[in-house]
Structure 1
């Protein structure tokens, strides 16, 4: 049996590693990044997502307190979350759109996804991503409801990443995703449980179920596209999955808000 102090030390190290994996926050883990440590720490991705969501919620609260409209406050939220993550997921979404949409062969698609330049598909994907998330947050408007929606979106979108990495093989032997490795089943299960719990607590059982169904369908569709076109997933594909998850959960929150 692992001593309690050692267990807490491992949990803290995993939290720091997961946070550094998806944000630019200076979180130096006490664990070395090799030997599958990053993959084992993937269970903590939803917790890292919670930090990002809370930062966005705080930004919204301050903006509204200073008299800004919900639309402007929502725009500042997106700027804040993109800054904290280094626009990592947005970059992945754009590269995925360019690669899957523009390349004719597997090799060309992977080459495009590695290119730092952005193409038409990528620009359109980013416009849609920012536009849909901005519209959803502005529609929700109420600061408390915005906080719940942001936490739900950022937690759930990252909670599905370990399962996606576990189920879909890496498309190439190098890169961010390949370097992290496939998470063990335990990490996948914990992340999924944390994401489900967060959805239920923030949005309620009904909206949580709708969100889980949409996330699962989106994940299956993206996995099929990635496997058929490039043979598996990459770090860019993971970024696209995260962005899709954020969008879907925020839209679910906004649609139920409108229905009240």
Structure 2
């Protein structure tokens, strides 16, 4: 961040605050298919909304874990349970994060100047980089979750929830002050630099601690691994975020989707290593 960034109103958190209800509706209305009427579409609401993003992830994660656990208990096997668990978040988010990941992969892989890459990302079709990225992502997520479901339904369910929460937490961090928007329009511009950095990192610490506490019934090593998985996922998402900011000049809605999927996948991989 440079001094010029701090003087740009688009790179500083909004001073006015929206209500918590406005923020929750913003988070659920933009990040899920759950019925939530967005009452305010401005930067103050975006700030609270992105701070509430992990709550939307919690709802998505719980909805993903339930059918996976039921299939496992009914004898469906770890692979089927994992595949369904991975599919549910895609359905509950209109596959927007996956679409964003594919578009970002096409943009990064194009080797074209920033503006040309952004135009590629706005196109409705998916290029070869995007297709390969999605296939590999699904394989990794399903394989990791199947490994966790093989260990126990508790490990699989908790991993699904933590991955979904961490994915949305990565969006909170990507919305922090100092991270510019790549273009003036779209969701990326609406939420870029709305969250104070201190609030974003404080929320990250809280979620990591909560993940560890949730895993304590599985033992102290599992608790430490859960917290470590959150940290590792956020670091991976941050690396991608910085790469995209350098490559495109800032964030877009597609970059947010890519950051979320990267965080979710890293979480599952780290947990599967245990």
Q: What residue in structure 1 maps to residue 35 of structure 2?
A: 26
Q: What residue in structure 2 maps to residue 182 of structure 1?
A: 193
CA distance in 1, matches of 2:232, 2:82: 23
Give 1:249 deviation, angstroms: 0.7
Moved more, 37-46 or 12-21: 12-21
Conserved? CA contact 1:157–1:242, under 8 Å: yes
Q: Cα 1:242–1:213, aligned 2, differ >3 Å: closer, same or farther?
A: same
Q: Which of 65, 69, 92 pairs up with 1:84? A: 92
Give 1:205 deviation, angstroms: 4.7
| Post-superposition CA distance 1:89-128 (Å, at most 9, x none) | 1111000000110141111100011011001100111011
Q: What residue in structure 2 maps to residue 195 of structure 1?
A: 207
Q: Cα 1:78–1:219, aligned 2, differ >3 Å: closer, same or farther?
A: closer
Moved more, 38-47 or 131-140: 38-47
CA distance in 1, matches of 2:30, 2:224: 31
Alignment of 1:150 with 2:160, yes or no, is yes
CA distance in 1, matches of 2:56, 2:190: 19
Q: Cα 1:181–1:226, aligned 2, differ >3 Å: closer, same or farther?
A: closer
| Post-superposition CA distance 1:65-86 (Å, at most 9, x none) | 3321110111111221111111
Q: What residue in structure 2 maps to residue 255 of structure 1?
A: 273
CA distance in 1, matches of 2:213, 2:160: 13
| Post-superposition CA distance 1:165-184 (Å, at most 9, x none) | 22421111111110234223
Conserved? CA contact 1:106–1:230, under 8 Å: yes
Give 1:189 deviation, angstroms: 4.4
Task: Give the secondary-structure state (helix, strand or coil) at the position aligned to 2:273.
Answer: helix
Conserved? CA contact 1:172–1:178, under 8 Å: yes
Conserved? CA contact 2:58–2:161, under 8 Å: yes
CA distance in 1, matches of 2:126, 2:210: 34
For structure 1, the 5+ residue unaligned runs are 1-8
Q: What residue in structure 1 maps to residue 4 of structure 2?
A: none
Conserved? CA contact 1:42–1:191, under 8 Å: no
Task: Give the secondary-structure state (helix, strand or coil) at the position aligned to 2:40.
Answer: coil
Give 1:14 deviation, angstroms: 2.0
Q: Which runs of 4+ in 1 moved over 4 A?
A: none
Q: What residue in structure 2 maps to residue 11 of structure 1?
A: 20
Q: Which of 165, 173, 180 pairs up with 2:175? A: 165
CA distance in 2, matches of 1:96, 1:61: 32
Moved more, 101-110 or 45-54: 101-110
For structure 2, the 5+ residue unaligned runs are 1-17, 216-221
Q: What residue in structure 1 maps to residue 15 of structure 2?
A: none
Q: What residue in structure 2 maps to residue 130 of structure 1?
A: 138
| Post-superposition CA distance 1:203-230 (Å, at most 9, x none) | 4552145324423432332133212211
CA RMSD of aligned residues (A): 2.0
